[in-house]
């Protein structure tokens, strides 16, 4: 099983097969419109515009599981993101990322990159500390998962890591030959 085995539904109701992103670098982010971290949308859009032509994609998964900070409908969320941050990357329907109703994409991502895993200087997961991880749950809005061109989850960024701070790792992955 890989990230390409999954599908999701976009905010407009269209089905999105993640296999569409094979060979591209992918950043998956759980988002919210009424969070202190919501301004990260601006940096996410900047990364998307700067690197899309090189094979970089972002998918935002709006989520209301953290303090009710994504209260709108799918249409309201898309309108908010477009009007306030010019978001042009795909946004899914509102999604649960934790618990028994967590979207299968997030079940997979959490299994591949549990919280507090260690990474080497290149951003690759270091698996030997897996037994020290207490929980793979997403802790807050704007947790980011970076997937390389081969579909491997290579990094999980904490919500407080600004999108711009991930750019060096993204550029390195974009420069690698498939």
pLDDT for the residue numbered 1: 82
Catalytic sites, residue numbers: 35
pLDDT for the residue numbered 176: 65
pLDDT for the residue numbered 62: 98
Cα–Cα distances in angstroms (integers) from residue 61 to residues 25, 49, 126, 172, in the given order: 17, 18, 26, 25
- Residue ranges in the chain whose pLDDT is less than 50: 117, 119, 122-134, 178
pLDDT for the residue numbered 121: 52
pLDDT for the residue numbered 113: 82
pLDDT for the residue numbered 97: 96
Closest CA to 35 of 165, 159, 122, 174: 159
pLDDT for the residue numbered 136: 85
Quote the tokens at residue 110. 């959490």
Closest CA to 137 of 163, 116, 164, 161: 116
């Amino acid at each position: 099983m890989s990230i390409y085995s999954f599908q999701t539904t976009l905010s407009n109701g269209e089905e999105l097969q993640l296999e569409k992103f094979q060979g591209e670098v992918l950043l998956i982010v759980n988002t919210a419109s009424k969070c202190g971290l919501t301004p990260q949308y601006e940096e996410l859009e900047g990364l998307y515009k700067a690197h899309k032509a090189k094979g970089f994609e972002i998918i935002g998964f709006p989520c209301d599981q953290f303090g009710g900070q994504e209260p709108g409908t799918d249409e309201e969320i898309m309108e908010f993101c477009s009007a306030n941050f010019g978001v042009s990357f795909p946004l899914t329907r509102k999604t649960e990322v934790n618990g028994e109703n967590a979207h299968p994409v997030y079940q997979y991502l959490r299994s591949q990159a549990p919280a507090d895993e260690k990474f080497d200087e290149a951003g690759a997961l270091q698996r030997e500390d897996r037994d020290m991880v207490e929980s793979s749950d997403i802790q807050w809005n704007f947790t980011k998962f970076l997937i390389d061109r081969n579909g491997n989850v290579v990094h999980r960024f904490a919500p407080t890591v600004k999108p711009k701070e991930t750019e060096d790792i993204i550029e390195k992955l974009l420069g690698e030959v498939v």
